[in-house]
Structure 1
Amino acid sequence: MKTRINAGEANDWLEILLDLKRKAVGIRFLFDKSDYEKSAAAERNGTVPYCTAVRSASEGKSIKLHLGNFACLAAARALGLMENDENSRSGKRHSDMGVYENVLVSRNIAKDMVYCGHSVYGIEIRPLEDYREYNPDIVILVTSPYNAMRVVQAHAYSKGQLKNIKMAGMQAICQECTSYVYERNEINLSMLCSGTRCVAQWSKDELGAGIPFQQIGDVIYGLIQTVNPMENNSDKKLIQEKLELKGKDLGFEIEYNKNYYTGVFVSSNSKK
């Protein structure tokens, strides 16, 4: 599984190995008008926030957007559809909104935001399962903390700790889950932000994870290899059922009543 994997295979494995309530979402940058016109995703009439489009894709709807469709210009700047402006770079925009104590803090956060360094015509936002003829650039999961933990454990299995998690609870889907992930080629987690929780209506118990698609094979490999040491019996049973349903196997037997913490914890009674 550490070899290259296509989007359809990746989606199958993510659905088997994680208890996803939403579909995994693939993001692909469309660098020019020709790329945009070739995309099979549906065009948008009018405007929509980028994060709302991601929400729609997590519910099975594909869409492509150009600058004229962006209801949130902060997302357009983060993703490379328009240049960043001085009001944002200086920190004044968010300082004036009152989300940071003063312009110095706001300026520091603005400097740390990682926006796409390219200039693109549009962006394609589709359920990962819809990508067949090509692969996306980024995979976004809006999911439970448990699933995010499993992604981190999967990465740690062969790559070690995630050392550069970057979050401020601002521009969550566009910057923390997309542009930062793309520019740094690193997995990132996001607690989401008040804006996206309002317009995209995410649940309070959901968070975001952005994964470079080129790393998805390593993540799936790590998820597979850590099923026995990390998962409890009920989750192992669910994985087993989904494996049988999709006609796949892990290459080894799932072991019940055994994981890395079996017998590790000492009860208070045993100390007496």
Structure 2
Amino acid sequence: MNLEEMDKILNSILELERCPVGIKFIFTEDEYNKLDAEETKNKTSYCRFVSRASEGRKLKIHKGHNACSGGAVALGFQSVLPETVSGVRRVKVGTYRDLGVSRKISRNMVYCEHKIFGAAIMPLKNYKEEPDVVIFVCKPYQAMRLAHGYAYHYGHANDIKLSGMQALCEECTSYPYENGCFNMSMMCSGTRMMAGWKDDEMGVGMPYRIFLNVFDGLIKTINPLERNKHKKIIKEKLEKNNLSDLLEIKMNQNYDDNGYIGGIAER
């Protein structure tokens, strides 16, 4: 199954409003030049590029495209500044109560340890080869379903880490990539301004190899965990996309059937 086919299935079972986005790190100028993707003329933040890709654009960026130093550092375009490592920069602007907390935040930021020439930022369906990271910008309900897909194969997502800081670049890209884990993000003030995410959107990021199992887990958990309201929509979308053979949707059947007992409360 190729990524275009997987994208059709994802959109049938998750009711996505944005394209899942694949990130691929590029290490040489020659590889960058050969990449079939749009190169913009202007700088902007990494998260804004992800937003554009979630709307369907195929993009590639190099160091010069980075308008946000946080994103450039997280992806491996440039080294972290000593003032950031120490925590001094963040405590100066008032985001944390003291240097100790600021230093804790800085110390626990996980940035890509490689140095890259560029990055591909494209809808997942447009990749002919495996990307390195997959990002979903979605609603909480869809994030819950992604967590279900993860838990089906791995159990609890014990490595969830968030602070509402460097949401797309660190929480959804460099941290899951370097740690090989599934992570969620409530976004950050910077990305909500730069990328224009809706107030009810959040991020989910994971390495591609984990995404493959999450994808499988999503399908396997439709019948036990989706309610009739969503099952009806999923069934209609599967039929519309000629994917009805993928799964038999079973209405009026869930994991917690007969699990809730009503009536008069008695001592």
For Structure 1 versus Structure 2, the TM-score category normalised by the shorter chain is over 0.9
Structure 2 match to 1:87: 83
| Deviation per residue, 1:12-54 (Å, 9 max, x gap) | 2211221101111111111111121111111120201110111
Contact 1:30–1:36 under 8 Å retained in 2:
yes
| Deviation per residue, 1:239-271 (Å, 9 max, x gap) | 111211222246542111111122212224586
Structure 2 match to 1:158: 153
What amino acid maps onto 2:255 in structure 1? Y
Question: Partners of 1:250 and 1:266 in 2: how far apart?
Answer: 36
Cα RMSD of the aligned pairs, angstroms, is 1.5
Query: 2:172 matched to 1:143?
Result: no
Structure 2 match to 1:170: 165
Question: Partners of 1:187 and 1:35 in 2: how far apart?
Answer: 28
Question: Partners of 1:250 and 1:140 in 2: how far apart?
Answer: 27
SS at match of 1:259: coil
SS at match of 2:158: coil
CA distance change for structure 1 residues 221 and 182 in 2, over 3 Å: closer, same or farther?
same
Question: Partners of 2:180 and 2:245 in 1: how far apart?
Answer: 27
Query: 2:192 matched to 1:197?
Result: yes
Question: Partners of 1:194 and 1:267 in 2: how far apart?
Answer: 43
Question: Partners of 1:195 and 1:250 in 2: how far apart?
Answer: 43
Question: Partners of 2:248 and 2:205 in 1: how far apart?
Answer: 30
Structure 1 match to 2:102: 106
Deviation (angstroms), 1:81: 0.5
What amino acid maps onto 1:197 in structure 2? R
Question: Partners of 2:187 and 2:2 in 1: how far apart?
Answer: 28
Query: 2:230 matched to 1:235?
Result: yes
Contact 1:90–1:110 under 8 Å retained in 2:
yes
Contact 1:156–1:162 under 8 Å retained in 2:
yes
| Deviation per residue, 1:135-170 (Å, 9 max, x gap) | 211111010111111111111112111001010000
Q: 1:259 aligns with which of 254, 259, 265?
A: 254
Query: 2:154 matched to 1:119?
Result: no
What amino acid maps onto 1:128 in structure 2? L
Structure 2 match to 1:42: 38
Structure 1 match to 2:51: 55
SS at match of 1:75: helix
Deviation (angstroms), 1:205: 0.7
Q: 1:96 aligns with which of 92, 95, 103?
A: 92
Contact 2:132–2:208 under 8 Å retained in 1:
yes
Q: 2:208 aligns with which of 202, 213, 216?
A: 213
Contact 1:63–1:126 under 8 Å retained in 2:
yes
Question: Partners of 2:6 and 2:246 in 1: how far apart?
Answer: 17
What amino acid maps onto 2:103 in structure 1? R
Structure 1 match to 2:68: 72
Question: Partners of 2:223 and 2:166 in 1: how far apart?
Answer: 36
SS at match of 1:36: helix
Question: Partners of 2:57 and 2:136 in 1: how far apart?
Answer: 15
Unaligned runs of 5+ in 1: none
Unaligned runs of 5+ in 2: none
TM-score by length of 1: 0.94
What amino acid maps onto 1:32 in structure 2? T
TM-score by length of 2: 0.96
Query: 2:237 matched to 1:225?
Result: no
Contact 1:196–1:202 under 8 Å retained in 2:
yes
Deviation (angstroms), 1:223: 0.8
Deviating beyond 3 angstroms after TM superposition, the runs of 4 or more aligned structure 1 residues are 249-252, 268-272
Number of residue-to-residue matches in the alignment: 267
Query: 2:18 matched to 1:22?
Result: yes
Contact 2:153–2:214 under 8 Å retained in 1:
no
What amino acid maps onto 2:145 in structure 1? R
SS at match of 1:84: coil
